[in-house]
Structure 1
Amino acid sequence: MIGALALGVWGTPRATYDVDFLILAHCNDPQPFLGLLRAAGFSINETWHDANPMAREVVLRLAHPTAPHFPVDLVFSLGPFDRAVLDRRQAVDFHGLTIWMSSPEDLVLMKLRASRPRDFDDVISIVKNPRLHLDLDYLWGWANQLGLHGELSYVLHAADTGR
Structure 2
Amino acid sequence: MAVGLSGFEKEIVERADPMIFEGCEIFVATPEDLVVLKILAGRPRDLDDVEGIVEIHAKQLDWQYCLAAARRLEAAVDIDLVQQIERLRSG
Question: TM tier, shorter chain?
Answer: 0.7 to 0.9
Report the TM-score when normalising by structure 2.
0.76
Determine the structure 2 residue equivalent to 1:152: 85
Residues 97 and 132 (structure 1 numbering): CA distance in 2 closer, same or farther, change over 3 Å?
farther
| Structure 1 or 2: more helix by fraction | 2
The number of aligned residues is: 84
Instruction: State the Cα deviation string for residues 43-99 of structure 1 (Å, max 9, x = none).
Output: xxxxxxxxxxx9xxxxxxxxxxxxxxxxxxxxxx35311111111011012233211
Query: Distance between the aligned counterparts of 2:45 and 2:88, measured in 1?
Result: 12
1:2-41 residue pairs with structure 2 within 5 A? none
Matched, 1:84 2:6: no
Percent of matched pairs sharing the same residue: 35
Instruction: State the Cα deviation string for residues 106-140 of structure 1 (Å, max 9, x = none).
Output: 11111111011111110111111158611111111
| Structure 1 or 2: more strand by fraction | 1
Which residue, 35, 56, 61 being the options, matches 1:129? 56
Query: Distance between the aligned counterparts of 1:81 and 1:153, measured in 2?
Result: 19
Moved over 4 A (4+): none
Determine the structure 2 residue equivalent to 1:105: 32
* Greater radius of gyration (CA): 1
Report the TM-score when normalising by structure 1.
0.45
Unmatched 5+ stretches in structure 2? 75-80
1:47-62 residue pairs with structure 2 within 5 A? none
Determine the structure 1 residue equivalent to 2:78: none
Unmatched 5+ stretches in structure 1? 1-53, 55-76
Residues 114 and 131 (structure 1 numbering): CA distance in 2 closer, same or farther, change over 3 Å?
closer
